[in-house]
A = this chain, B = another copy of it.
Amino acid sequence: MKNSTEAGLVEKLADPTYSRVREKLREDIVSGYFPSGKRLKIAELIDRYSVSQMPIREALQQLQGEGLIIIEPNKGAHVRQIDQGFLENMYDIRQLIEVYLTVKSIDHIQDKDVKELIQIQGKYELAAKKKDYDLCVKLNKLFHVTIYAVANNPEGSQILEKHWQLINTLRFTHGYGPDRLAEVIEEHRNIIKALDKRDVIAVEKAATAHCVAAKADLISQISRRGN
């Protein structure tokens, strides 16, 4: 893991400009600097990121591939607008895959994996107590990504990663419902318990409940703010 970390650092420093622009632009979308529906004009991005138009255009194409933006020929790019219909559809697919991966992780999961999940969950509970939402988002992701890695279906993981970026832009803007952090803690505990027992039915039930509740909370938050 240490070598992997170092290799990752080397790769990052050597990234071409278009990759660095893509990362920065994604951050700016997720953080809300460029809000839902915002027109992304190349001249403005040139000013903001201090590069020429070519890496901007490359980065935009890549982010379109990730689903974060939409490019219309001859008209330019804008941040994807996520209405409730889109969110419902996305979450329906997300639930299929997330439940499948969580259940499939039983095939390969080991005690060290369960220990790791417990550790992540402990950190999540501390972060939740401190209302450190940023850290909660990161740890929630780590929790699930750890499970996906055990499940070992990159195709599924990649689709969920795309969804996660879209969901995260909404979470940044709309936040969590008042009880959501406590609910997540309970739901994660249920998932850990079921995985520890390698109980397929319980895992499926716990993962489904987690997904259903996340979807309901986000839709509730969006409706509350009158998107």
Give A residues with C-beta under 8 Å from B: 14-16, 19, 54, 57-58, 61-62, 64-66, 73-74, 86, 89-90, 92-93, 96-97, 100, 153-156, 159
- Would you give 17 A-B contacts (Cβ < 8 Å), ordered by A? A14-B74, A16-B73, A57-B58, A58-B58, A58-B61, A61-B62, A62-B64, A65-B65, A89-B154, A90-B155, A92-B100, A92-B153, A93-B97, A93-B156, A93-B159, A96-B96, A96-B97
Whether B93 pairs with A155 at a CB distance below 8 angstroms is yes
Assuming A89-B155, A100-B92, A153-B89, is B73 touching A65 (CB within 8 A)? no
Secondary structure at chain A's binding surface: helix, strand, loop or mixed?
Answer: helix
Closest to A19 in B: B73
Assuming A19-B73, A57-B58, A58-B57, is B65 touching A156 (CB within 8 A)? no
User: Which residues of the partner chain B approach A96 to less than 8 Å between Cβ atoms?
Assistant: 96-97, 100
Q: Which 3 A-B pairs have the closest CB atoms?
A: A65-B65, A61-B61, A89-B155
| Least CB distance, A124 to chain B, in whole angstroms | 27
Closest to A87 in B: B155
CA distance A86 to B66 in the complex (A): 20
Closest to A104 in B: B92
Give the residue among A54, A74, A155, A156 with the most B Cβ atoms within 10 A: A155
User: Which residues of the partner chain B approach A100 to less than 8 Å between Cβ atoms?
Assistant: 92-93, 96
User: Which residues of the partner chain B approach A154 to less than 8 Å between Cβ atoms?
Assistant: 89
CA distance A54 to B56 in the complex (A): 13
CA distance A73 to B155 in the complex (A): 21
User: Which residues of the partner chain B approach A156 to less than 8 Å between Cβ atoms?
Assistant: 89, 92-93
CA distance A90 to B97 in the complex (A): 12
